[in-house]
């Protein structure tokens, strides 16, 4: 079931692969995170990159969250979902001139600047438009997030942000400019973080710099500690609770008195989604284990292929009998197209429905048309039943840009 709706019924009507989201859980997660920080002035800016499906973003907005956009496209998602420009922060390495020009003229809450060069470009655009733009400086604190190297962003070797020393001298130089208003500092050390230390150290890096800037006569408005809070993908996996997270960050930020911004993505959206997929073939391996071949693959859920990520896989209607040892694999022509390696499932047969758990973040949004596979449909369960919130792509949709 997803809330009170049988998954099998949704798959019957909408087909598979199908991403299903629980509106109730999206709401609960936003409220739980918000409550953990209730003792301190803060704003949750949902990281749209985690799941940019409009209906999902609207559900999250309905609970009072604001938005973190990572591209011009995500700014459009935020606007269509109903956020006002002053509720949007704009992050991202490699913002183009056009993206920056639009952001500058829109009056966003802050553009999180990634480099001294980008600060100069923002200043030039703001000067050309005779406007004053709100900027936060993204710091790279050289902190190891302890998560997968592909989702660790806070080490000196990573492409993100500038050193505290660079940010300090930029802030001093920029303070005298008419068209830039340095309003905050930003840090994001990585994603799927499961211990307090990297989050605390990231926050400390910007809190320390904020104190230095205050002494220099440059007062700020906010500290943005990014996202990163991890979830338990594997049964029994140790993670931080939202209260642990607040206990790591608040003592560091509180002495500055600055408003706190958080950019959570995964923690809110991941557990609120499952990917439904049907078994299309079964093949026995040399060692007696099975390949359970399903109709969802790396084109629908890239994380296992990209990061070796674990997602729990269950039969929606488990059959009686001796469990089978298996690898659950997709139909894509790549050996990395494996959704779950070394699993145990109840006996399964062609046509059975499986649910891949915790796919609400970095799932549907990472879909591709590789092997010319149309992109899966997405459904939302809310208090009044369920509905498709993104229709299944057709082959005609997929080919519409080809000559």
Ligand X SMILES: Cc1ncc(COP(=O)(O)O)c(C=O)c1O
Which residues belong to the active site? 333
Looking at residues 146 to 165 of the shown chain, list those that interact with ligand X (rule: CB under 6 A): 153
Based on CB atoms, which residue is closest to ligand X, 72 or 347?
72
Q: Give yes or no for a contact between 274 and 20, defined as CB atoms under 8 angstroms apart.
A: yes
Considering only 16-24, 36-44, 260-268, 389-397, which stretch makes contact with ligand X by CB under 6 A?
A: 260-268
Q: What does each C-alpha distance from 38 to 41, 242, 247, 250, 257 come to in angstroms?
A: 7, 11, 12, 11, 15
Could you give the string, one character per residue 196-225, with x where binding to ligand X holds by CB under 6 A and - elsewhere? ------------------------------
Q: Give yes or no for a contact between 284 and 290, defined as CB atoms under 8 angstroms apart.
A: yes
- Considering CB under 6 A, how many residues would be counted as binding ligand X? 18
Based on CB atoms, which residue is closest to ligand X, 242 or 280?
242
Q: What does each C-alpha distance from 175 to 89, 90, 206, 250 come to in angstroms?
A: 20, 21, 17, 27
**Cα 209 to chain centroid, rounded:** 27
- The reply to whether 68 sits near ligand X by the rule CB under 6 A is yes
Whole-number Å distance between alpha carbons of 18 and 7: 10
- Helices and strands counted in the chain (H then E): 12, 17
Looking at residues 324 to 353 of the shown chain, list those that interact with ligand X (rule: CB under 6 A): none
Rule CB under 6 A: choose which of 43, 118, 123, 263 binds ligand X: 263
Q: Give yes or no for a contact between 358 and 273, defined as CB atoms under 8 angstroms apart.
A: yes
- The reply to whether 304 sits near ligand X by the rule CB under 6 A is no
Burial of 302 per CB tally in 10 Å (0-12, 13-18, 19+): buried
Looking at residues 178 to 197 of the shown chain, list those that interact with ligand X (rule: CB under 6 A): 188, 191
- The reply to whether 109 sits near ligand X by the rule CB under 6 A is no
Based on CB atoms, which residue is closest to ligand X, 17 or 264?
264
The alpha-carbon radius of gyration of the chain (Å, integer) is 22
Considering only 45-53, 176-184, 290-298, 346-354, which stretch makes contact with ligand X by CB under 6 A?
A: 45-53
Rule CB under 6 A: choose which of 228, 304, 330, 360 binds ligand X: 228
Rule CB under 6 A: choose which of 22, 91, 140, 299 binds ligand X: 91
Q: Which residues bind ligand X (CB under 6 A)?
A: 47, 49-50, 68, 91, 153, 188, 191, 226-229, 263-267, 361
């Amino acid at each position: 079931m997803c809330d009170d709706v049988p998954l099998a019924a949704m798959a019957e009507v909408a087909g598979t692969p199908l991403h299903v989201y629980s509106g109730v859980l999206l709401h609960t997660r936003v409220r739980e995170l918000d409550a953990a920080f209730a003792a301190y002035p803060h704003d949750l800016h949902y990281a749209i990159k985690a799941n940019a499906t409009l209906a999902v973003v609207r559900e999250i907005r309905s609970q009072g969250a604001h938005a973190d956009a990572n591209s011009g496209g995500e700014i459009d998602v935020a606007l269509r979902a109903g956020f006002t420009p002053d509720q949007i922060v704009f992050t991202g390495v490699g913002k183009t001139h056009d993206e920056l020009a639009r952001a500058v003229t829109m009056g966003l809450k802050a553009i999180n600047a990634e480099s001294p060069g980008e600060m100069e470009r923002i200043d030039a655009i703001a000067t050309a438009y005779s406007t004053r733009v709100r900027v936060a400086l993204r710091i790279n604190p050289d902190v190891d997030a302890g998560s997968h190297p592909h989702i660790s962003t806070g080490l000196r070797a990573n492409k993100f942000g500038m050193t505290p020393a660079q940010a300090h001298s930029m802030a001093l130089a920029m303070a005298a400019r008419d068209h830039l208003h340095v309003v905050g500092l930003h840090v994001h050390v990585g994603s799927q973080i499961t211990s307090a230390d990297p989050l605390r150290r990231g926050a400390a890096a910007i809190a320390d710099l904020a104190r230095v800037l205050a002494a220099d006569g440059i007062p700020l408005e906010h500290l943005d500690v990014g996202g990163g809070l991890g979830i338990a993908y594997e049964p029994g996996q140790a993670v931080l609770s939202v209260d642990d997270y607040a206990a790591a960050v608040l003592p560091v930020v509180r002495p500055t008195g600055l408003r706190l911004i958080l950019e959570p993505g995964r923690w809110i959206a991941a557990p609120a989604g499952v990917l439904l997929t049907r078994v299309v073939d079964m093949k026995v391996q040399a060692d007696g284990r099975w390949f359970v071949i399903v109709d969802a693959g790396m084109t629908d859920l890239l994380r296992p292929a990209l990061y070796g990520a674990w997602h729990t896989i269950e039969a929606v209607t488990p059959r009686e009998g001796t469990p089978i040892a298996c690898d659950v694999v997709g139909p894509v022509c790549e050996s990395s197209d494996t959704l779950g390696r070394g699993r145990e499932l109840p006996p399964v047969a062609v046509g059975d429905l499986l649910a891949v758990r915790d796919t609400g973040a970095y799932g549907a949004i990472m879909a591709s048309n590789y092997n010319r596979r149309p992109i899966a449909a997405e459904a939302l369960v809310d208090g009044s039943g369920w509905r498709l919130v993104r229709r299944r792509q057709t082959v005609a949709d997929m080919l519409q840009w080809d000559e």
